[in-house]
Chain A
Amino acid sequence: MRGSILGKVTVIAATSLLALTACTTDSSIEDPPAAEGTASSETTETTGAAQPSEDSTEWFDQAVYDEQDAQRSATFEGDPEQPYLQYIDGEMKDTSAFASTGPKKACFSNASISNPWRQTGWITMNQQLQVLQEAGVISEMETRDAQDDDNTQIADIDYFIAEGNCDAFIISPNSTAAMTPAVERACETGKPVVVFDRGVQTDCAVTFIHPIGGFAWGIDTAEFLSERLNEGDKVVALRILPGVDVLEQRWAAAERIFEENGIEAVDYFTGADPVEIKSIISDELATGDVQGIWMDAGDGAVAAIEAFEDAGADLPVMTGEDEMSFLRKWEETGIDGLAPVYSNFQWRTPLLALQKIFAGEEVPAEWVLPQSPITEEERGEFLTANEGMPDGHYAKFGGEDLPGYPTVWQERQIP
């Protein structure tokens, strides 16, 4: 038995070696990115994600943290009525080389629509697509959904490059480092590439669209809680899952601020499952008082509040998200809260960016969208504006002027 395994390993090693020698002679179907391209990405040009360096697994990055901290109070160019087109003044990309008339085909490689935030954005994006199709800017958008799998998304992008007949690529990466080589391959086709939401470790894309970022979320929320709580108070941090950069950054910033302010923070992974959340809070309340709840995403916020209600404990100070369920429960209970926002309207921007690119208008190299939390004063306004929307809807979805509003979002018609 041992012999056969060893034998197998040898064969495999030999095959791999053969394969290695083979690809120097055989023409490869795709040019892998130069090694320096990914190795030198330690610089913080792409702010969307902390760059996981060679062996560091720390998410905290002081430079990015400071940058996002500053961006929270930055002024945004453009019409505040159209936040999805606003950006922070910075380096602009000349796109005159892409200027071209006639409707274009967009190819969208989507990480997934597996959570309410992505579903809401995906609906908005499709309504935006309708507008641009009617305007004759986009002929069609072909979408491949990777269902949360890096490997599938790489294959999706390669398929688009080989078969898609695409005029432009829109990529919403499933993860930062892993998607970098595939995005670089897309860039090498010479067609415009737009990346949004999570970033990649290359700036080959024409523009990278994202709200300010995870650290800003962490700062907004943790400062809010720290202001209202005293030293030694306890905060339960409810996190969805480990290893996702946008979420890890939120916690990295918040954890640091809690530490600085002497607030005791305990973190749990919940998988966004309200049952899990309720059990965790119940157990925490059984062992002692909890003064604050911090969440890295608003899913399940209601269950957290209900756990306090059911235990008969004082309601906590809490940060959730701009998901309707939280806004409604927040109003109903009157707790002291804040709804941080990871701007859902960013799903409109990539298609609008393509419109600009094909018109030859310059676009920001890094398109930082506004990201401002909903405060108690603004809550009523957002609740009225989104009346009738389902609980999984996001208040700052930014599609009020699109066709199909509000039924498409109310009925959550997912294409």
Chain B
Amino acid sequence: MNRLSSTHIVYLVALATIIAGTVLVGSAGRNFFSPGNVSDILTGTSILGFIAIGQTLVILVGSLDLSVPYVISLSSLIGAGIMANQPGNILPAVLAALLVSALIGLANGAVVAGLQVHGFIATLGMGLIVSGYLGSNYQGSAGQAPLAFRLIGATGIGPVPVSTLIMLACAAVVLLMLNTTRLGHAMYAVGGDASVARMSGVRTRTPVIAAHVICSTMAGLAGLLLAARLGVGSPTIGSQGGYDLLSIAAVVLGGTLLAGGKGSLIGTLGGVLIFAMLDNIMSVLQVNPFLKDVVRGIVIVVAVAVYARRKVVHRPARFGRGPAHDDDAPPPGPGTSRQGGPSRGDGTGARDEVSA
């Protein structure tokens, strides 16, 4: 047990969920692994997955993003609005939606990094601002996604929805960015200890702003995907899913420290998968919708509790002091990074690179 990283534990929990799902869904006379069911689960991972990817970065740098639901709605409206059922408009619509989302992220990042406002408040306020704009300018669903665009939301290769594949592709790109680029290392470093990072020569504002921009862009992508699934843009689609708190829960469930500095994108995807399977199982069992929330709430706490107590001891320390504690943990290095283990070298790599 002690040799397991939190990512491993997340996937063990996911495995346990699969076993439980197989039994429970089987007891309801269904097959957990039938194409329709797998497709249902994977569809459930796609939207939350996009947001959780972005949220992981934001949490890594020590901030939070509560504005995602409104960015999602806005992006879906801008996307579907510009498309106006013309296939030729898809590219400008996608670009415009992502640009606006990125700008909101830039504003978030600027307020957090520049004005020193805690991410919780900065993004709560930004969410309110966007929500007022949505309420004033859209009284309901608007726009129309053309057929070519809607296919993204409605097709799949076998039981795997295209939307999930796009989400996984995004995850791969972000993972690559986190593990191989200077920016990625700087994100870990800043989240771990901003002062130490600064003393090591890392610009502390850039990673925070970048994380917010990427997070909002991801939310924008989720909004576009929702426009593809719904065929229209909707001013409430983001808040309907409760994606803000759910994505934070998925990130923490995936083993990322809420305080920042340590975490793993792979773990986050595991957290998202657990939520999607949980929803799927409860829906198949026709659990009372009120009790669904009870189960979700308990699972979030229990799942995090499984390793929360353990990991504070066995997680490698933020900077330098790591080796002293690392005897039991997998060595932070390229090998673990590939697997996206949470115990990657955190800021250590960043420091090496920056000071080199």
Contacts and interface: CB of A to CB of B under 8 A. Distances in A.
Interface string A18-44: 011011001011101011001100000
Given A5-B213, A32-B150, A143-B286, A159 B37 contact: yes
Given A52-B142, A155-B40, A20 B240 contact: no
Contact of A22 (B162, B209, B288): B162
Contact of B147 (A34, A52, A151, A158): A34
A13 B93 CA distance: 12
Contacts of A30: 154-155
B165 A5 contact: no
Contact of B36 (A1, A5, A159, A415): A159
A104 B255 CA distance: 47
Interface stretch (B113-121, B131-139, B346-354): B131-139
Contacts of A23: 151, 155, 162
B57 to A, nearest CB: 11
Nearest to A15: B169
A94 interface: no
A15 B43 CA distance: 17
B240 A148 contact: yes
Contacts of B232: 52, 177-178
Nearest to A59: B139
B177 A29 contact: no
Contacts of B148: 20
B210 A29 contact: no
A226 interface: no
Interface in B193-212: 206-207, 209-210
Given A55-B84, A155-B43, A113 B289 contact: yes
A383 B283 CA distance: 37
A384 interface: no
Contacts of B217: 5, 8-9
B81 interface: yes
A177 B240 contact: no
B283 A19 contact: no
A250 to B, nearest CB: 13
B236 interface: yes
B140 A52 contact: yes
Nearest to A149: B240
Contacts of A414: 288, 290
A201 B206 CA distance: 47
Interface stretch (B223-231, B267-275, B301-309, B320-328): B223-231
A7 interface: yes
Contact of B152 (A4, A19, A148, A245): A19
A54 B143 contact: yes
Interface residues of A, number: 67
B135 A162 contact: no
A1 B140 contact: no
B44 A155 contact: yes
Contacts of A266: none
Contact of A16 (B150, B166, B214): B166
Given A1-B206, A144-B286, A175-B234, A181 B151 contact: no
A243 B236 contact: yes
Interface string A109-150: 000111000000000000000000000000000111101111
A1 B183 contact: yes
Contact of B234 (A15, A161, A178): A178
Interface string A42-61: 00000000001011011100
A343 interface: no
Interface string A264-301: 00000100000000000000000000000000000000
Contact of B221 (A1, A12, A142): A12
A11 B148 CA distance: 19
Interface in B156-177: 156-157, 159, 162, 165-166, 169-170, 173-174, 177
B141 interface: yes
B30 interface: yes
B9 interface: no
A15 B166 contact: yes
A15 B225 CA distance: 13
Contacts of A366: none
A267 to B, nearest CB: 12
B156 A28 contact: yes
A32 B234 contact: no
A154 B95 CA distance: 26
Contact of A7 (B36, B151, B159, B173): B173
A162 B37 CA distance: 8
A197 interface: no
A344 interface: no
* Best-surrounded residue of A19, A22, A58, A178 (most CB of chain B within 10 A): A178
B7 to A, nearest CB: 23
Contacts of B173: 7-8, 11-12
* Best-surrounded residue of A19, A143, A176, A245 (most CB of chain B within 10 A): A19
A22 B240 CA distance: 31
Contacts of B27: none
A138 to B, nearest CB: 15
A152 B229 CA distance: 11
Given A57-B137, A159-B283, A243-B235, A32 B241 contact: no
B146 interface: yes
A154 B147 contact: no
Q: Which 6 A-B pairs have the closest CB atoms?
A: A162-B36, A178-B230, A163-B36, A23-B155, A35-B147, A28-B155
Given A1-B213, A19-B152, A177-B232, 12 more contacts: A39-B85, A39-B144, A144-B286, A150-B237, A154-B229, A156-B283, A159-B283, A162-B37, A177-B234, A178-B230, A242-B235, A248-B139
Interface of A: 1, 4-5, 7-9, 11-13, 15-16, 19-20, 22-23, 26, 28-30, 32, 34-35, 38-39, 52, 54-55, 57-59, 112-114, 142-145, 147-152, 154-156, 158-159, 161-163, 174-178, 180-181, 241-245, 248, 269, 414-415
12 contacts: A12-B166, A19-B151, A28-B156, A39-B144, A144-B283, A148-B240, A150-B234, A159-B37, A163-B30, A178-B234, A243-B139, A245-B140
